[in-house]
């Protein structure tokens, strides 16, 4: 549900609740991050919740007619303020975590959860929406408004609005517990990651690591008042060890620490094992209360895929296509490790290292060599030039209050200088920031008070920052990640929909939401894009065409293994939420071990505790939805194929005409119509898997 925002007419009386004093209550512009204090959170959220409940009471009153302006708009106005305030708190909890912020976040989370659970079960509002749909003039509402009503009716049913009173109460308890457990899961994972540090004084133990990684580790040790090098489990520190360290024992030591995070094999305070069991039991209970057989069925009710069986069939068919390539990849890697590296028993802590060595041997380049050509300023300039070329837009750095000195802020304008949207860019890893990369919304486009509210987004990554006076350098994989998150950001920022419930990413089916992000990744393999975004960090020379051709030749290096890995995770997720019995004698670890026997070609060691750090499905909203990465990849590859089809006649894939068509039919539509309709409007037909297989070298 996307409802509840403080009405404009309500004026706070208490000084701490005045917008001038409490920045969380100021919705006149961008968030006032520079003034944020944890003590602002509770009073602001309490007031906004009270305002929301007052708005709900007015909307559900018998004398409030079942008309859009009478009850939907006031609810949207109320909800937006609560969403924006809590969104700031949640964002800071993810990127600048502290004991003080964590305490107030966890204190307010149950209040937020209960409110939305109550809203989802509100029979009076449910009846109002049904009455609105039944009105003779319902067809006269705009398409986006009709879609919002349809979504709300579905979400009321999924929220338990049709349950009996006793079941409603239990359903609400379940939702509250699930919210707490998911938050705790993420906190445990962050704490377990931060808790580990390995200090090394002997440089010989770090042989093979590139200079920039060593400099960063040395700086980390110095920051702790120690000599030598500090290695952590944050990706910018962990990955170089796994990829380059000649010391096999060191790789195994780091690997074991990484894959046992937040498990019973580490500190008990950070163990997620019991949380996983409880989350699965509660999700199954919630599904049964709603009349579904499994949580997977609940999850798919709002997605493109119809049933768990359909998803599993899709994954199985893709797995059958990928498996011969994965087996070939693995046999080549084992032979190379044996013959060239002297590793006769290839293990999980060897594969990243051996793969990098094999790639260098086969294609005569390394990730480290490529990385030198991708300094941050040139990468951003190339990314922005792509957006300008495809959509006729301009991106310029701007000023705004930020939560950390490393954060940058940008404004997106059209050819006339009109502001289209804005976004924050937080690129670097730090101890207070959760892992991974993600986009989130700050402000959503909507028509309000006669004008358009321009959208704002957060783009977050976890890359290595500048070292030794040089700009941050990105691997090509990190460039792809940045393009991916920018694709999500453009989906939010370039919407033309003016109704908040289906504007931007709102209302988009979860298994289609990755389409714009994965679509953007394709441009990272285009010479006409890369030549504008590279300059060697020392010489300033652009990426040589010869090196690019080697990268292109290596594009599908081990794509079979990578595809099977994603299928392994997606199958585990879907089975876990469909036919796995959380109340039986087996565990999630048992299940993934079974899945690996069926899917994987490299079985990790028995101590691997992947479920304990699989935050996507236990804390990140991807429960029974992890398959969407591969599902949407079919859509994105097929969409990009139109740029390829038109390239010969235009002289390249950077075709503004096709770009504007993609904008108008995909990005601009938001969730105002089903994703399949938007895809067909762009492509002129249903999606096919052919382009995906071709792009992955598995045609």
CB contact at 8 A, 21 and 44: no
Per-residue pLDDT reduced to its tens digit, 448-499 = 888 999 999 999 999 999 988 999 999 999 999 999 999 999 999 999 999 9
Quote the CA–CA distance of 589 and 563 in Å, as a whole number.
21
Helix boundaries (H) for 290-375: 295-300, 308-341, 348-363, 367-371
The verdict on residue 619 lying in a domain is no
146 and 215 part of one domain: no
Distance CA 617, CA 621 (A): 6
Q: Which one, of 152, 506, 151, 509, lies nearest residue 305 by Cα?
A: 509
Does a structural domain hold residue 153? yes
What pTM, to 2 d.p., does this model score? 0.93
Last residue of a domain, one of 214, 236, 260: 260
What pLDDT is stored for residue 465 in this prediction?
96
Query: What pLDDT score was predicted for residue 13?
Result: 34
Report the pLDDT averaged over residues 672-689: 97
* CB distance 248 to 205 below 8 Å: no
Same domain for 29 and 89, yes or no, is yes
Work out the pLDDT band at 614, boundaries 50, 70, 90: very high
Measured between alpha carbons, how far is 459 from 409 in angstroms, rounded to an integer? 10
pLDDT confidence of residue 117? 96
Instruction: Tell me: do 147 and 215 sit in the same domain.
Output: no
- What pLDDT, on a 0 to 100 scale, did the predictor assign at position 557? 97
Q: What is the DSSP letter of 565?
A: H
Q: What average pLDDT does range 9-13 have in this prediction?
A: 31
Beta-ladder partners of 138: none
Helix axis angle for 165-195 and 99-120, nearest 10°, is: 160
What's the whole-number average pLDDT of the chain?
95
pLDDT in tens, 237-293: 999 999 999 999 999 999 999 999 999 999 999 999 999 999 999 999 999 999 999
Q: Which domain holds residue 87?
A: 15-162
The number of beta carbons lying within 10 Å of the beta carbon of residue 49 is 20
Tell whether the model's pLDDT for residue 16 goes beyond 60: no
Final residue in a domain of this structure, among 483, 510, 542: 542
Alpha-carbon gap, residue 229 to 428, rounded angstroms: 19
Q: Are residues 48 and 85 in contact, defined by beta-carbon separation less than 8 angstroms?
A: yes
Give yes or no: residues 127 and 205 share one domain: no
User: Has residue 439 got a pLDDT over 70?
Assistant: yes
Same domain, 142 and 28: yes
Which residues have a Cβ under 8 Å from the Cβ of 597 and sit 6 or more positions away? 603
Model confidence at 5, pLDDT cuts 50, 70, 90, reads very low
Helix axes 273-289, 165-195, angle to 10 degrees: 160
655 lies in some domain: no
Residue 426, both tokens: 């937080």
Indicate if the pLDDT at residue 7 is higher than 80: no
Establish if 513 belongs to a structural domain. yes
Question: What is the rounded CA–CA span in Å between residue 335 and residue 121?
Answer: 59
pLDDT recorded at residue 6: 30
Q: What is the reported pLDDT for 547? A: 97
Residues 154, 246, single domain; the answer is: no
Task: Write phi, then psi, for 615 (nearest 5 degrees).
Answer: -70, -20
CA atoms of 675 and 672, how far apart (whole Å)? 9
The percent of residues above 70 in pLDDT, for the chain, comes to 98
Distance separating alpha carbons of residues 433 and 95, to the nearest angstrom: 4
**Cα–Cα distance, 586 to 78 (Å, whole number):** 45
* Burial state string for 408-441 with b = 16 or more CB within 10 A and e = fewer than 16: bbbbbeeeeeeebbbbbbbbbbbebbbbebbbbb
697 occurs within a structural domain = no
Q: Report pLDDT for 17.
A: 58
Contact present, 151 and 507 (Cβ < 8 Å): yes
Give me the CATH number covering residue 446. 1.10.1370.40
Q: Which residues, in sequence order, are CB contacts of 144 under 8 Å at separation 6+? A: 497, 498, 499, 501, 502, 503, 670, 672
Are the C-beta atoms of residues 390 and 659 closer than 8 Å to each other? Answer: yes
Question: 446: helix, coil or strand?
Answer: strand
29, 101: one domain = yes
Q: Kind of pairing, strands 446-448 and 451-453?
A: antiparallel
| Both structure tokens of 574 | 């879907």
CA dihedral 635, 636, 639, 640 (to 10 degrees): -150
> For position 20, what pLDDT does the model report?
77
User: Same structural domain for residues 126 and 222?
Assistant: no
Tens-place pLDDT, residues 526-542 = 999 999 999 999 999 99
Q: Which two tokens stand for residue 116?
A: 């939305």
In this predicted structure, the answer to whether residue 10 has a pLDDT above a threshold of 90 is no
Say if residues 445 and 217 touch (Cβ distance below 8 Å).
no
Q: What is the mean pLDDT of the segment spanning 412-425?
A: 97
Of 260, 277, 293, the position where a domain reaches its end is 260
Clarify whether 150 is annotated catalytic.
no
In a domain, 169, yes or no: no
Cα–Cα distance list, 169 to 99, 114, 154, 173, 278 (Å):
32, 10, 20, 6, 19
Which pLDDT tens digit goes with each residue over 24-52? 999 999 999 999 999 999 999 999 999 99
| Whether 200 contacts 228, CB under 8 Å | yes
In a domain, 440, yes or no: yes
Q: What DSSP string runs through 408-434?
A: EEEEEE-TT--EEEEEEEEEE--TTS-
- State how beta strands 456-463 and 419-428 pair: parallel
| pLDDT exceeds cutoff 60 at 11 | no
Q: Which of 80, 152, 485, 514 is catalytic?
A: 485
Contacts of 505 (CB under 8 A, 6+ apart): 441, 488, 491, 492, 513, 670, 671
C-beta pairs of 355-361 under 8 Å, 24+ apart in sequence: 355/557, 355/558, 356/243, 356/244, 358/332, 358/333, 359/554, 359/557, 361/336
**Percent of the chain beyond pLDDT 90?**
96
Query: Residue 272 carries which DSSP code?
Result: -
Same domain as 106, residue 30: yes
Residues 91 and 232 in one domain: no
Number of compact structural domains in the chain: 3
Strand runs labelled E in 209-319: 229-231
CB 661 within 8 A of CB 519: no
Same domain for 126 and 237: no
Q: Is 509 helix (H, G, I), strand (E, B) or coil?
A: coil
Are 207 and 64 contained in the same domain?
no
Establish if 698 belongs to a structural domain: no
């Amino acid at each position: 549900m996307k409802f509840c925002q403080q009405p404009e007419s309500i004026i706070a009386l208490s000084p701490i609740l005045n917008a001038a004093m409490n920045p969380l209550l100021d919705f006149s512009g961008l968030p006032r991050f520079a003034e944020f204090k944890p003590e602002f959170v509770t009073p602001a959220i309490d007031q906004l919740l009270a305002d929301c409940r007052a708005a709900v009471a007015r909307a559900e009153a018998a004398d409030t007619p079942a008309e859009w302006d009478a009850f939907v708009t006031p609810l949207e106005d109320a909800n937006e303020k609560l969403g924006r305030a809590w969104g700031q708190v949640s964002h800071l909890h993810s990127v600048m975590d502290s004991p003080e912020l964590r305490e107030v976040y966890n204190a307010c989370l149950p209040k937020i959860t209960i409110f939305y659970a109550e809203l989802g079960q509100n029979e009076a509002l449910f009846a109002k929406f049904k009455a609105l749909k039944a009105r003779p003039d319902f067809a006269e509402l705009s398409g986006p408004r009709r879609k919002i009503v349809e979504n709300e009716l579905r979400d009321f049913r999924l929220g338990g609005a049709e349950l009996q009173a006793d079941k409603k109460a239990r359903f609400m308890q379940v939702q509250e517990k699930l919210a707490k457990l998911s938050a705790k899961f993420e906190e445990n994972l962050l704490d377990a990651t931060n808790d580990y540090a390995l200090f090394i004084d002997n440089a010989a133990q770090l042989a093979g690591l590139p200079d920039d990684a060593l400099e960063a580790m040395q700086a980390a040790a110095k920051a702790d008042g120690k000599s030598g090098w500090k290695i952590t489990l944050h990706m910018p520190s962990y990955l170089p060890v796994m990829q380059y360290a000649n010391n096999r024992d060191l790789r195994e030591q780091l690997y074991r620490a990484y894959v046992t995070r937040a498990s019973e094999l580490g500190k008990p305070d950070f163990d997620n094992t019991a949380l996983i069991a409880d989350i699965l039991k509660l999700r199954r209970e919630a599904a049964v209360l709603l009349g579904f057989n499994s949580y997977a069925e609940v999850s798919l009710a709002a997605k493109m895929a119809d049933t768990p069986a359909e998803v599993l069939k899709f994954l199985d068919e893709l797995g059958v296509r990928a498996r011969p390539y994965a087996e070939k990849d693995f046999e080549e890697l084992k032979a190379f490790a044996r013959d060239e590296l002297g590793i006769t028993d290839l293990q999980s802590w060897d594969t990243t290292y051996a793969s990098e060595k094999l790639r260098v041997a086969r294609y005569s380049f390394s990730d480290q060599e490529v990385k030198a050509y991708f300094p941050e300023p040139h990468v951003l300039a190339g990314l922005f030039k792509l957006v300008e070329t495809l959509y006729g837009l301009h991106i310029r750095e701007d000023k705004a209050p930020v939560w950390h000195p490393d954060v940058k802020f940008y404004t997106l304008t059209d050819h006339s200088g009109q502001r289209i949207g804005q976004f924050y860019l937080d690129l670097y890893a730090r101890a207070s920031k959760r892992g991974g990369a993600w986009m989130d919304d700050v402000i959503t486009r909507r028509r309000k008070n006669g004008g358009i509210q321009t959208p704002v987004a957060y783009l977050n990554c976890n890359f290595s920052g500048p070292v030794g006076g040089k700009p941050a350098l990105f691997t090509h994989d990190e460039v792809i990640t940045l393009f991916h998150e920018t694709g999500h950001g453009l989906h939010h920022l370039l919407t033309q929909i003016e109704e908040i419930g289906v504007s931007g990413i709102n209302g988009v089916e979860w298994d289609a939401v990755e389409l714009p992000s994965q679509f953007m990744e394709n441009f990272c393999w285009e010479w006409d894009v890369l030549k504008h975004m590279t300059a060697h960090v020392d010489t300033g020379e652009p990426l040589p065409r010869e090196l690019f051709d080697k990268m292109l030749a290596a594009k599908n290096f081990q794509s079979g293994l990578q595809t099977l890995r994603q299928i392994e995770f997606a199958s585990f997720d879907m089975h876990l939420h469909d036919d796995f019995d959380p109340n039986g004698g087996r565990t999630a670890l048992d299940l993934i071990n079974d899945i690996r026997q069926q899917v994987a070609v490299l079985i990790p060691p028995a101590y691997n505790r992947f479920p304990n750090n699989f935050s996507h499905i236990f804390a990140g909203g991807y429960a029974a939805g992890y398959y969407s990465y591969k599902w949407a990849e079919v859509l994105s590859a097929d969409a990009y194929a139109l740029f390829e089809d038109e390239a010969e006649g235009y002289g390249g894939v950077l075709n503004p005409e096709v770009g504007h068509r993609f904008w108008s039919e995909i990005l601009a539509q938001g969730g105002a119509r089903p994703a399949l309709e938007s895809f067909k409007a762009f492509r002129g037909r249903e999606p096919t898997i052919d382009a995906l297989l071709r792009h992955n070298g598995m045609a």
